[in-house]
Amino acid sequence: MVTSRALPFDVRIPILNAPMGGVAGGALAAAVSGAGGLGMIGMGSSGSVASLQRQLPLVPNGVRVGIGLVDWVVRREPGLLDLALDAKPVLLSVSFGDDFGWIARAHERGVLTAAQIFDAEGAARAHAAGADVIVARGREAGGHGRHLVDRDELLDAVLAATARPVLAAGAIATAADVRRVRERGASGAWVGTAFTACREALSSPAQRRALIEAGPEDTVLTSVFDRAAGYAWPADIPERVLANDFTRRWSEEFDSEVAGRELAAANAADDPRGMSINAGLGVGELREERSAAEVLAALAGE
């Protein structure tokens, strides 16, 4: 067993919920932190100053959480980074960009940082920029990312590239998964899909049912939802979602106007056949809707 490096913040259980847009609001983050992990509020594609202002009050006084942002969203709305820093999070992450200038800004405010990376080169850049924690996101993970390298292979490469704490991400859905990455040297786990069907999550009832019924073979990498919604995601950052009628209908030809109307209608009707439902390859381990505390305890083997 490889000795892992200590995280720069205090947690009883070294597990963080990934800051998933549309899933990880203030209630979920507070529940994860309250149960012994570190909860992260996520501002995704539709993130804004107003949406973060709505989520922050859902965290009770005395409960500390982290905040995760998206690079191109911050560029669209710079006030979002200012608001996140003003909130004094335990940890700040700005993901899916190549500019790590936000790390220095966070450090100036006394805020610790986590950089989510997809390959060893990204780990070296994050290390040079001063990231306090590096998240090694394997290709198995749900949601947006550059799906380049298997989790364990990436974890080994990142651990070799930096002496800083490293969190493993991608298909971590059971206590055995957590144990495996800790034995390889990870300081903890950055977990997304396992928390998507939690009662405290922002996911809708239909999304939760679809996730519970799905297996890893039901996921697909696509950008059709982003194109339909008009989101400015880079072309090389698709999202892993549950395959459905929408992904099949728009897999070849694409009409942005029609697709946009269909996506809006599906969201309004809470119809999983036409919604973007992020899911990693660990989705088959979801069996029922549970509390964040129950998920965290299960991941910790308690």
> What integer pLDDT is reported at residue 1 of this predicted model?
59
In this structure, the answer to whether residues 151 and 245 fall within a common structural domain is no
> What integer pLDDT is reported at residue 102 of this predicted model?
98
> What integer pLDDT is reported at residue 3 of this predicted model?
73
The whole-angstrom separation of Cα 302 and Cα 299 is 8
In this structure, the answer to whether residues 165 and 213 fall within a common structural domain is no
In this structure, the answer to whether residues 215 and 293 fall within a common structural domain is no
In this structure, the answer to whether residues 118 and 157 fall within a common structural domain is yes
In this structure, the answer to whether residues 180 and 57 fall within a common structural domain is yes
In this structure, the answer to whether residues 241 and 192 fall within a common structural domain is no
In this structure, the answer to whether residues 158 and 213 fall within a common structural domain is no
In this structure, the answer to whether residues 110 and 24 fall within a common structural domain is yes
> What integer pLDDT is reported at residue 142 of this predicted model?
98
Q: Which domain holds residue 69?
A: 15-201+288-300
> What integer pLDDT is reported at residue 4 of this predicted model?
76
Let me know if residue 9 belongs to a domain.
Answer: no
**Structure confidence by residue, pLDDT tens digits, 162-217:** 999 999 999 999 999 999 999 999 999 999 999 999 999 999 999 999 999 999 99
CA atoms within 13 A on the CB side of 235: 0
> What integer pLDDT is reported at residue 267 of this predicted model?
98
Let me know if residue 109 belongs to a domain.
Answer: yes
* Number of structural domains the chain divides into: 2
Of 257, 225, 256, 255, the C-alpha closest to 241 is 225
In this structure, the answer to whether residues 78 and 173 fall within a common structural domain is yes
In this structure, the answer to whether residues 219 and 88 fall within a common structural domain is no
- Which ranges of the chain have pLDDT less than 50? none
In this structure, the answer to whether residues 177 and 217 fall within a common structural domain is no
Let me know if residue 274 belongs to a domain.
Answer: no
Q: And the tokens for 203?
A: 């996911």
Q: Are 31 and 212 in contact (CB under 8 A)?
A: no
Let me know if residue 7 belongs to a domain.
Answer: no
Let me know if residue 6 belongs to a domain.
Answer: no
What is the pTM assigned to this prediction?
Answer: 0.97
Q: Which residues contact 63 (CB under 8 A, 6 or more apart)?
A: 30, 33, 34, 39
The whole-angstrom separation of Cα 270 and Cα 223 is 20
In this structure, the answer to whether residues 243 and 96 fall within a common structural domain is no
Let me know if residue 275 belongs to a domain.
Answer: no
Q: Are 274 and 263 in contact (CB under 8 A)?
A: yes
Let me know if residue 68 belongs to a domain.
Answer: yes
Let me know if residue 138 belongs to a domain.
Answer: yes
CATH number at 150 reads: 3.20.20.70
